[in-house]
């Protein structure tokens, strides 16, 4: 059961500049100061918008799954949307459902969640989380 979009990640070259632009054009400020996500290889600025969050991310270390994937997005297509994260009631049930129908979920190294490849989702990297 899908409940909402939990967050959207937008990958950027310069997170300080990007956060300033969000404040300038959208009139919103990050919930917390820009900080590194421990053990994930990127800098993050998160903006709460209603029930969802827009997360700006700048990869800094491709030793980690998240930082490496973000770096790949930047190199392939430049700045822009990196992934959409949907909240579901139960990640385990969703994994079972998608495996049963023959689709391969990509496990997350950092959280109880999984991904669908953008090739399957018409150009969108989708994360499923609780």
| Residue 97, φ and ψ in degrees, nearest 5 | -60, -45
Q: Which of 64, 65, 76, 25 is nearest to 47 (CA)?
A: 25
Is 56 a binder of another protein (CB under 8 A)? Answer: yes
Is 100 a binder of another protein (CB under 8 A)? Answer: no
**Binder among 43, 45, 70, 84 for another protein (CB under 8 A):** 84
Is 126 a binder of another protein (CB under 8 A)? Answer: yes
Is 21 a binder of another protein (CB under 8 A)? Answer: yes
3-state class of 28 per DSSP? coil
- Which residue has tokens 């959207």? 8
Is 69 a binder of another protein (CB under 8 A)? Answer: no
Binding segment toward another protein, per CB under 8 A, in 32-40, 64-72, 97-105, 107-115: 97-105
What is the 3-state composition of the chain as percent helix, strand, coil, each rounded to the nearest 5?
25, 35, 35
Q: How far does the chain reach from its first CA to its final CA, in angstroms? A: 10
- 2 vs 112, which CB is nearer to another protein? 2
Is 45 a binder of another protein (CB under 8 A)? Answer: no
- Show the DSSP H helices in the chain as ranges: 15-26, 65-77, 91-100
Return residues touching another protein (CB under 8 A). 1-5, 8, 10-12, 18, 21-22, 24-28, 49-52, 54, 56, 77-81, 84, 86, 94, 97-98, 101, 103, 116, 118, 120-124, 126, 128
């Amino acid at each position: 059961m899908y409940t909402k979009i939990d967050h959207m990640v937008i990958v950027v070259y310069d997170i300080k500049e990007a956060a300033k632009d969000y404040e300038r054009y959208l009139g919103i400020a990050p919930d917390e100061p820009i900080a590194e996500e421990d053990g994930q290889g990127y800098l993050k600025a998160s903006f709460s918008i209603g029930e969802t969050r827009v997360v700006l991310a700048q990869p800094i270390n491709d030793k980690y799954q998240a930082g490496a994937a973000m770096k790949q997005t930047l190199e392939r297509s430049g700045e822009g949307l990196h992934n959409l994260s949907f909240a579901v009631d139960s990640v385990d049930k969703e994994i079972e459902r998608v495996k049963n129908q023959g689709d391969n979920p990509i496990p997350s190294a950092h959280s109880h969640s999984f991904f669908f490849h953008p090739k399957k989702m018409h150009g969108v990297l989708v994360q499923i989380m609780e």
